């Protein structure tokens, strides 16, 4: 049944004759090659979905990818940034070089979706045995890029440049104490000689819809940790000590004035959230210390630095006003995912062409983060979202939910998007 549906579906996304005549003849040729690989794309996606692996532990997934790329005759490097795989497809010219990226890791989430290929996998996360699930949909990204590699490898002689397929581990962040993800891939040279990079993410948008945004798209995400040191005393005699709970509470409120009062709100939105506040053991003891942890989201690298400085100043000054001290640690996470404006304008017609019913629309900013931004700090890149919501589902679950579900009828749109972006880019402006 699925088989028939997918096959019927491919005709909905194929271009009209007029489109073929107006556009790049290579993308029309690629479309002829997409239908025959779709069954495999669906099978890969189900297989990867059923066997998810946590960040930096994508052993089975990367072996599957490497074997496939080798079977296509690509130059394959494995073990990049731990479990990453890079495949190079050399066409009839060395230049230009375009990269297509898929992330491979899953999350410590126990799947609640009723699927024949639902995950029952377990894994070790921060010392705890947890359920593992592709709750962010990276299984789709891997299968889509494997399919695009097969389509493009089949037309190697016609390709006017080089295509690099980047299968990246640990997008969700490496385990504590480890390195990994996009930044480590870059350190190990994956962007050498690459002129532009494209990446996609599935999300609970209407099926087959593509959303993107020139410039600031997804937020940077940094973690902060504050320890307030006071002085322990009896809860009935606060003057005999320094209360870190009250100081910590003032810091929580003080931090809220950074986004609202201290940075230019006309420039870009920003968020400072305290997600954890812990202190004390008993009702009548004022504890020695309090701990706060939170996240910083913004869309501008300058504002990002300003917020870091102001968090340090706010915490230290409030603590000092009470005779306490505050130690602030900020761990820099993924940078802003900022789409190169010229590249986005150039590729927008491609996105419109490949989206279902030409539904490619500019998006608002998104306050979640992506380490694709690391690549975009080095070379021009374009990142976009692909809608995978089941049209029959009233309230599709968000990414990272145990109920997250990707309708596989979006897979052909993904394969077509990656294939067309590479071919249109290599054909030149």
Which residues would be at the binding site for Zn ion (CB under 5 A)? 136
Phi, psi of 104 (to 5 degrees): -115, -10
Closest residue to Zn ion, Cβ-based?
136
Terminal CA-to-CA distance of the chain, rounded, Å? 41
Q: Which is nearer to Zn ion, 202 or 251 (CB)?
A: 202
Q: Which is nearer to Zn ion, 136 or 166 (CB)?
A: 136
Nearest distance, CB of residue 16 and Zn ion, angstroms: 33
Nearest distance, CB of residue 399 and Zn ion, angstroms: 5
Q: Which is nearer to Zn ion, 97 or 136 (CB)?
A: 136
Q: What is the arrangement of strands in the sheet containing 220-229, beginning at the earlier edge strand?
A: 270-279, 289-298, 220-229, 325-331
Nearest distance, CB of residue 140 and Zn ion, angstroms: 10
Task: Tell which residue, 122, 137, 202, 215, has the closest CA to residue 387.
Answer: 202
Nearest distance, CB of residue 337 and Zn ion, angstroms: 11
Nearest distance, CB of residue 135 and Zn ion, angstroms: 7
Is residue 142 within 8 A of residue 48, CB to CB? The reply is: yes
Q: Which is nearer to Zn ion, 243 or 371 (CB)?
A: 371
Q: Which is nearer to Zn ion, 287 or 414 (CB)?
A: 414
Is residue 255 within 8 A of residue 294, CB to CB? The reply is: yes
Q: Which residue has the tokens 């089949």?
A: 154
Q: Which is nearer to Zn ion, 69 or 102 (CB)?
A: 102
DSSP codes joined into one string, 148-170: HHHHHHTTGGG-SSEEEEEEES-
Nearest distance, CB of residue 138 and Zn ion, angstroms: 6
Nearest distance, CB of residue 57 and Zn ion, angstroms: 16
Q: Which is nearer to Zn ion, 136 or 242 (CB)?
A: 136
| Neighbouring residues of 405: CB distance < 8 A, sequence distance ≥ 6 | 113, 115, 388, 390, 393, 396, 397
Paired tokens of 408: 């596989």
- Which residues share a beta bridge with 55? none
Identify the helix (H) or strand (E) that includes residue 349: helix 341-354
């Amino acid at each position: 049944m699925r088989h028939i549906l997918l096959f019927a579906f491919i005709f909905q996304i194929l271009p009209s004759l007029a489109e073929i005549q107006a556009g790049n003849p290579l993308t029309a040729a690629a479309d002829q090659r997409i239908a025959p690989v779709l069954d495999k794309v669906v099978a890969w996606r189900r297989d990867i979905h059923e066997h998810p692996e946590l960040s930096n532990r994508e052993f089975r997934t990367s072996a599957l990818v490497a074997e496939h790329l080798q079977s296509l005759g690509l130059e394959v490097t494995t073990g990049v940034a731990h479990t990453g795989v890079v495949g190079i497809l050399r066409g009839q010219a060395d230049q230009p070089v375009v990269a297509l990226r898929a992330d491979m890791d899953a999350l410590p989430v126990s799947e609640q979706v009723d699927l024949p290929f639902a995950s029952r996998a377990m894994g070790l996360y921060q010392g705890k045995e947890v359920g593992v699930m592709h709750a962010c949909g990276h299984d789709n990204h891997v299968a889509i890029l494997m399919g695009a590699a097969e389509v493009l490898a089949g037309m190697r002689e016609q390709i006017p440049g080089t295509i690099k397929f980047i299968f990246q581990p640990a997008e969700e962040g490496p385990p504590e104490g480890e390195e990994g993800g996009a930044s480590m891939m870059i350190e190990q040279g994956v962007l050498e000689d690459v002129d532009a990079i494209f990446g996609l993410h599935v999300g609970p948008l209407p099926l087959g819809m593509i959303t993107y945004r020139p410039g600031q798209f997804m937020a940077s995400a940094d973690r902060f940790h504050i320890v307030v040191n006071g002085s322990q005393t009896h809860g009935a005699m606060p003057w005999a000590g320094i209360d870190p709970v009250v100081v910590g509470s003032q810091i929580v409120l003080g931090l809220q004035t950074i986004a609202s009062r201290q940075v230019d709100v006309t420039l870009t939105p920003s968020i400072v959230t305290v997600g954890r506040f812990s202190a004390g053991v008993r009702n009548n003891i004022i504890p020695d210390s309090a701990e706060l942890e939170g996240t910083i989201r913004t869309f501008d690298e300058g504002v990002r630095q300003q917020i870091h400085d102001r968090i340090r100043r706010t915490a230290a000054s409030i603590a000092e006003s009470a005779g306490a001290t505050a130690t602030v640690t900020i761990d820099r996470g993924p940078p802003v995912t900022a789409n190169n404006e010229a590249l986005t304008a150039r590729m927008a017609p491609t996105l419109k062409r490949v989206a279902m019913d030409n539904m490619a629309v500019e998006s608002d900013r998104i306050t979640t983060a992506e380490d694709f931004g690391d690549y975009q700090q080095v070379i021009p890149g374009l990142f976009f979202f692909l809608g995978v919501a089941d049209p029959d589902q009233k309230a599709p679950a968000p990414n990272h939910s145990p109920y997250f579900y990707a309708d596989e009828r979006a897979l052909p749109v993904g394969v077509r998007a990656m294939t067309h972006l590479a071919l249109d880019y290599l054909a030149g402006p």
